[in-house]
Amino acid sequence: MADDGILLNFELGDGLLKPQIKFTGGRWRDRVRAERSAKRRRNGDTTDDNSTTDKPSTSQQDGKTAEDDGGRPAKRWKAGIGTARETSKSNGTLGRTPPSNTLRRSISKSHGVTSRLFTSNPTPTTVFEAPREEPTDVAKPSNAPLSEEAANFHALGLSRRLAQHLSTKLEMKAPTSIQKNTIPQLVKNDSDAFLQAETGSGKTLAYLLPIIQRITALSQNEDGTPKDVRIHRNSGLFAIILAPTRELCKQISVVAEKLLRCTPWIVSTTVIGGESKKSEKARIRKGVNILIATPGRLTDHLDHTEVLDVGTARWLVLDEGDRLMEMGFEADIRTIVAKIRKQELKRENKDGVVLGGPMPSRRVTVLCSATMKMNVQKLGEISLQDAVHITAAADDGTATKDEAGDAVFAAPSQLKQAYIIAPAKLRLVTLIALLKSSFARKGSVMKAIVFISCADSVDFHFDLLKAAAETEDGSGGTSSTKGQPPSLTATTVAVASYITSQANSKITLCRLHGSLPQPVRTSTLASFTTATDPAILITTDISSRGLDVPAVDLVIEYDPAFSVADHVHRIGRTARAGRPGKALLFLLPGCEEGYVSLLSPSSSSALTPQSYDTILQQGLSSPVDLPKPKPGTTNDDDTASQGEKKSWKSRAESLQLHFERRLLIPDQVDAAVEAKHRGYPKVKDSKLLDAARRAFRSHIRAYATHVRDERGFFDITQLHLGHTAKSFGLREAPGGIGGGVQRRTHRPSNSGHGAGGGGGKGRGQDSDDEADGSKAKSEEEAARRMREKMKTVMSASSEFNIG
């Protein structure tokens, strides 16, 4: 071959040729780190402590994308690729990193995905003091009955028969302070009264005992001997008692029935929503002396039940007056007061019995409230005339005033209050640890109430914490045997899991909110009240007013109340009638920490701050008993595997991962299925996942309904949606939170679908193939429905508030 005259001269050096590796995909920060790592390896440095698998990027924070760091936007994570890979080809590929909008995740050998709970959390400003020893001198109860030497019921003006019934049958030896000041006033005088006392002080007995005493005196002498006049159930309606909720009406009715056992000829009954009006009319027609009702149902009976005669009514009691106004009953109360006053007061009943002597000569109105807010004063202007203001002992120091000058009564002095600063990501596991440590000792806590803001969240947490169903119907509760009708509490009462211990191997779990049918609500509350095993009630604010459940030792406000007044009533479910009690409030780090300053006037003692890590160390010091998987499935997060993890932080992350897997994998699918899809199984969403998404959306909407004066502490713009979603076991925040009309664009008729405007799939979407003329009307109707929906959301008396 002829030489072409070209000479090539290369200087290769003494070393070997090293291929240049190019990384593509993923985040640019991770590509730079991988290139630096590869360069160090080419230079002879074998250490690689910046691996994206073992040590995630410090900028990859929860809820914070690369754009927040000033870098380039992150690409979507492709499931199934989680590590950096280098090839011998000219272009290596870097696996895409997990999404950073909700949580930081890394790949592990045992589970495929590991949740990072203790990174990227905001730092609280509260200074946590070292735990102090319990004081030896216990605070004297402020709502306990007085000593028998100081006062007794007979000396207050009650008959010996009634006083003896209280002491022997009901074991009430002495009255409380509010009862001591109220009973003589209502027994001897005919003036209106405004009762104001702290929760659990016995206001119900304070107005019931004088009413029963004066009705009984019509047919009985002071020594208990009968008179010639005999009063019975058909003698007339003498007292009407209004309460804001059905549960409170039921409770007042139970107390009245216990008092009336010594006078069986006097009858009381209830008329409340959710029950048959036909049966209520039958009871009214048969005869009733004391009527306990909700305002809406009583207004309906006054309009449509002719047999209801209020001409003989001597007393009108408005219990929980502030709640009556907050729930929007002002119009009903105005109607009730006007119709009662319009009816002329009858001096004798239809049987010719003269209603004089011990009975009031005028109609007496009694208003009860623990606070004196502006709406209560307005209610007093509607119903009261020359009223007497009656409180507990004036020198006990319980009456204080807030910044607006309204009187606010402090919580009972024997109630111990504390608040927990827990980041949003750790709320769920902190709640589990708190309940587990609270029930770790037998007899330490018998009953606990957990308050949550909305009904959807109550349902989700109940389904999450209950044990696996053991019955064929899958109810998980106290369902009936095969062939019998299901129990009313089949879906509201169940055996709890996660929080059991060797001391308390069985804990009853109940749920209660206003969306449940009335018979179910009544049965559920009765099951919780009469439970002999330790029990937990997960409920909304429907249980915050007036309910008196024995042996409630602990109240947990998992979601803060919508106002300080609601907070006082919530914690008032414990430490009643002189019993000790404890209340705990969950707050987020940041602006919510300032909320404690509003609670100080309503607390007789300083609120003690607690950090979440202390709660987790106490509750997760031992393995958590996880629910048993269904037959044919496995659970690699069992107690044995948890026992290998000595750190409480590892247990917390394992527990969080267990919740996330329960939501993502229906019926506890084998772990191999989850590993195949890297934590995102290609299966149909479970019911629990749908419940978690609904609960999250309702929780965010409810968060915006705090009263105006407190929205500075509960600023929804400061709420981290990704971290909050983690507290519901979700790995990313679901959409469809905001309101607004979904704008649609008309597509060709052959498409069959409309272009939705950002709403959830299948959430109330109308048909898109309608005519152009009816389309505008449909959009107008949708806008009207959305305005009504947003009006309900922003109302303080919505489902988010009352249950």
State the Cα torsion 439-443-445-448 to the nearest 10°. Answer: 90
**Would the pLDDT of 474 be above 60?**
no
Cα–Cα distances (Å) from 533 to 301, 439, 447, 528, 663, in that order, read 41, 11, 9, 10, 29
> Tokens in use for 623?
């393995």
| 75-81, Cβ contacts within 8 angstroms, sequence gap of 24 or more | 75/25, 75/26, 75/27, 79/677, 79/678, 79/679, 79/680, 80/677, 80/678
Tell me the average pLDDT across 455-469: 91
Task: Grade residue 214 by pLDDT with cuts at 50, 70 and 90.
Answer: very high
- Distance (Å, rounded) from C-alpha 388 to C-alpha 380? 11
- Per DSSP, the three-state class of 56 is coil
Q: DSSP characters for 182-229? A: HHHHHHH--S-EEEE--TTS-HHHHHHHHHHHHHHTTTB-TTS-B-S-
> Tokens in use for 247?
């549960």
- Distance (Å, rounded) from C-alpha 579 to C-alpha 415? 9
Identify the residue with better confidence: 528 or 797: 528
- DSSP label at 169? T
Phi/psi at 610 (5° precision): -135, 145
Identify the residue with better confidence: 375 or 315: 315
Closest to 526 measured CA to CA, from 339, 765, 253: 253
**Given this model, what pLDDT does residue 668 score?**
44
Lowest-confidence range among 5-14, 282-291, 607-616, 765-774? 765-774
Domain covering 417-621 in this structure, CATH number: 3.40.50.300
**Would the pLDDT of 548 be above 90?**
no
Lowest-confidence range among 141-150, 203-212, 319-328, 455-464? 141-150
Tell me the average pLDDT across 632-645: 48
Cα–Cα distances (Å) from 198 to 141, 312, 392, 501, in that order, read 12, 32, 8, 35
Closest to 417 measured CA to CA, from 538, 571, 569: 571
Which DSSP helix (H) or strand (E) runs through 35?
A: helix 28-42
Identify the residue with better confidence: 445 or 216: 216
**Would the pLDDT of 796 be above 50?**
no
- Distance (Å, rounded) from C-alpha 593 to C-alpha 420? 10
- Distance (Å, rounded) from C-alpha 742 to C-alpha 757? 5
**Residues linked to residue 364 through DSSP beta bridges, in sequence order:** 315
State the Cα torsion 279-281-285-290 to the nearest 10°. Answer: 90
CB within 8 Å of 377: residues ≥ 6 apart: none
Identify the residue with better confidence: 392 or 540: 540
**Given this model, what pLDDT does residue 50 score?**
41
**Would the pLDDT of 57 be above 50?**
no
**Would the pLDDT of 104 be above 60?**
no
**Per-domain residue ranges for the chain?**
21-101, 189-408, 417-621
Lowest-confidence range among 227-241, 595-609, 737-751, 777-791? 737-751
- Distance (Å, rounded) from C-alpha 651 to C-alpha 114? 12
**Would the pLDDT of 775 be above 50?**
no
**Given this model, what pLDDT does residue 231 score?**
85
**Given this model, what pLDDT does residue 678 score?**
47
CB within 8 Å of 628: residues ≥ 6 apart: 467, 468, 635
Tell me the average pLDDT across 223-230: 70
- DSSP label at 239? E
pLDDT, the chain, mean = 75
> Tokens in use for 609?
């701050």
How many helices (H) and strands (E) in the chain? 23, 21
Closest to 435 measured CA to CA, from 423, 420, 425: 420
pTM of structure: 0.68
Beta strands 399-401 and 447-451, pairing class: unpaired
- Distance (Å, rounded) from C-alpha 389 to C-alpha 410? 18
> Tokens in use for 5?
């005259």
Tell me the average pLDDT across 425-444: 92
418 in Cβ contact with 225 (< 8 Å): no
Tell me the average pLDDT across 326-351: 90
Tell me the average pLDDT across 598-603: 73
**Given this model, what pLDDT does residue 31 score?**
83
CATH architecture of 189-408: 3-Layer(aba) Sandwich (3.40)
- Distance (Å, rounded) from C-alpha 543 to C-alpha 248? 8
**Would the pLDDT of 272 be above 60?**
yes
- Distance (Å, rounded) from C-alpha 26 to C-alpha 586? 38
> Is the Cα torsion angle 728, 734, 740, 742 positive or negative in sign?
negative
Place of tokens 């909110």: 513
- Distance (Å, rounded) from C-alpha 442 to C-alpha 505? 10
CB within 8 Å of 599: residues ≥ 6 apart: 417, 564, 567, 585, 607
**Given this model, what pLDDT does residue 357 score?**
81
Beta strands 268-271 and 415-421, pairing class: unpaired
- Distance (Å, rounded) from C-alpha 793 to C-alpha 637? 39
**Would the pLDDT of 343 be above 60?**
yes
**Would the pLDDT of 476 be above 60?**
no
**Given this model, what pLDDT does residue 617 score?**
92
- Distance (Å, rounded) from C-alpha 454 to C-alpha 719? 17
**Given this model, what pLDDT does residue 110 score?**
40
Q: DSSP characters for 757-788? A: -S--TTSSPPPS-S-HHHHHHHHHHHHHHHHH
Most confident of 152-156, 515-519, 558-562: 558-562
Task: Grade residue 85 by pLDDT with cuts at 50, 70 and 90.
Answer: very low
**Would the pLDDT of 48 be above 50?**
no
96 in Cβ contact with 85 (< 8 Å): no
Place of tokens 């309910």: 547
**Would the pLDDT of 22 be above 70?**
yes
Tell me the average pLDDT across 286-300: 95
- DSSP label at 593? G
- Distance (Å, rounded) from C-alpha 537 to C-alpha 570? 13
Task: Grade residue 473 by pLDDT with cuts at 50, 70 and 90.
Answer: very low
Please give the sequence-ordered ranges of beta strands (E in DSSP) within 305-456, or none if there are none.
Answer: 315-318, 364-369, 388-391, 399-401, 407-409, 415-421, 447-451
Lowest-confidence range among 424-438, 542-556, 653-667, 727-741? 727-741
**Residues linked to residue 84 through DSSP beta bridges, in sequence order:** 94
- Per DSSP, the three-state class of 37 is helix
Tell me the average pLDDT across 92-117: 44
**Would the pLDDT of 506 be above 60?**
yes
Share of the chain above pLDDT 70, in %: 66
State the Cα torsion 512-516-518-522 to the nearest 10°. Answer: -20
**Would the pLDDT of 222 be above 70?**
no
| Identical fold, 189-408 and 417-621 | yes
- Distance (Å, rounded) from C-alpha 348 to C-alpha 314? 12
**Given this model, what pLDDT does residue 75 score?**
38
**Would the pLDDT of 794 be above 50?**
no
- Distance (Å, rounded) from C-alpha 543 to C-alpha 548? 10
- Distance (Å, rounded) from C-alpha 56 to C-alpha 37? 14
**Residues linked to residue 220 through DSSP beta bridges, in sequence order:** 226
**Would the pLDDT of 640 be above 70?**
no
Q: Backbone dihedral region of 764: left (phi > 0), alpha (psi from -120 to 50 degrees) or beta? A: left
- Distance (Å, rounded) from C-alpha 490 to C-alpha 523? 10
Place of tokens 């909407």: 701
- Per DSSP, the three-state class of 134 is coil
67 in Cβ contact with 73 (< 8 Å): yes
